[in-house]
Amino acid sequence: MKIAIIGTGNLGLSIAKGVLHSNGATNMYMTKRNVESIKEFESYGNVTVTSDNRIAVQNSDILIFAVQPSHFGQILEDIKDLLNEKHVVISTITGFSIAKMESIIGADNYIVRSMPNTAISVGKSMTCICGNEKGRKRIDLTKAIFNRMGHSLEIPEEQMQAATVICASGIAFWMRLIRATTQGAIQLGFDAKEAQELAMHTCNGAASLLIESGNHPEEEIDRVTTPMGCTIKGLNEMEHQGLSSSLIRGIVASFDKITEFKTK
């Protein structure tokens, strides 16, 4: 598998690390305009770092674009003449539709949109994917690539905006919840390092419980909330303070922000 990461920034670097940790590529190109910050990756024998997207495209089959939305159109223009039957064009670009991509490079390309998150660097991404008519013939290949770095789900393109919020921005939402729990633990007497250790492993346990059991969260909550106990006291106080409502409102606000920059 010859992979190019076009735009090796926050997400692109996480994907590159995930590819390396999962041995997902025989050869990988990593590009950005200023390559200084990723030069170290050339120490991996099968990695080439370059600022030249065209060279990366010519020498790769799987093209994963992870640039900012405002840069993507021009980058596609710059490389479109190089695209051929061997290429799968995978975009992680928020709010950049398949139709918009087709208007630049044409519909006769294998186009896939993928929405991973930064946990991909440790093989734990939740990645949502969709494709154009030709791209749907490469969905299984795309799932195989991202399943080496976590879990993937094919969804209709109409749901990609919501998937961005839940799965990609979602990493930041869950990190804030872990941080808040950590701050609670510090208030109760743990030092910061231990407090975070308690918070993140408990979070990992809760998620693993649901993934392994297939149970509903409230089913698991009922197993913890002893009648008249401390858990239900805390849980109800959090809801009196608007915990669930504030999370839902934040998720919707995040979704609306994408709508805002999509229409620009």
Ligand X SMILES: NC(=O)C1=CN([C@@H]2O[C@H](COP(=O)(O)OP(=O)(O)OC[C@H]3O[C@@H](n4cnc5c(N)ncnc54)[C@H](OP(=O)(O)O)[C@@H]3O)[C@@H](O)[C@H]2O)C=CC1
Ligand Y SMILES: O=C(O)[C@@H]1CCC=N1
What does the binding site for ligand Y look like in residue numbers (CB under 6 A)?
Answer: 94, 164, 168-169
CB of 143 to ligand Y, least distance (A): 20
Cβ proximity to ligand X: between 9 and 123 the closer is: 9
* Residue 58 annotated as binding site: no
Contacts of residue 143, defined as CB under 8 A and 6 or more positions apart, other chains included, come to 129, 152, 154
- Judged by CB under 6 A, the number of residues near ligand X is 25
Three-state secondary structure call for residue 133: coil
- Positions 84 through 123 that interact with ligand X (CB under 6 A): 92-94, 115, 117-118
* C-beta closer to ligand Y: residue 10 or 246: 10
Q: Are strands 110-115 and 88-91 parallel, antiparallel or unpaired?
A: parallel
Residue nearest to ligand Y (CB): 168
Token reading at 245: 């409502």
Footprint (CB under 6 A) of ligand X, residues 132-191? 168
Q: Closer CB to ligand Y, residue 17 or residue 80?
A: 17
Kindly provide the b/e burial profile for residues 186-214, where b requires at least 16 CB atoms within 10 angstroms of the residue's own CB: eeeebeeeebbebbbeeeeeeeeeeeeee
Between strands 125-131 and 110-115, the pairing is antiparallel
**Residue from the set 5, 15, 25, 32 that interacts with ligand X by CB under 6 A:** 32
254 is a site residue for ligand X (CB under 6 A): no
Q: Is 252 annotated as a binding residue?
A: no
Within residues 50-89, the interface with ligand X by CB under 6 A covers 53, 66-69, 71, 75
Closest CA to 30 of 68, 10, 67, 3: 3
Tell me how crowded residue 170 is: count the other CB atoms within 10 A of its CB: 17
Query: Which of residues 94 and 127 has its CB atom nearest to ligand Y in the complex?
Result: 94
For the annotated binding site for NADPH, the residues are 53
For the annotated binding site, the residues are 6-11, 53, 66-69
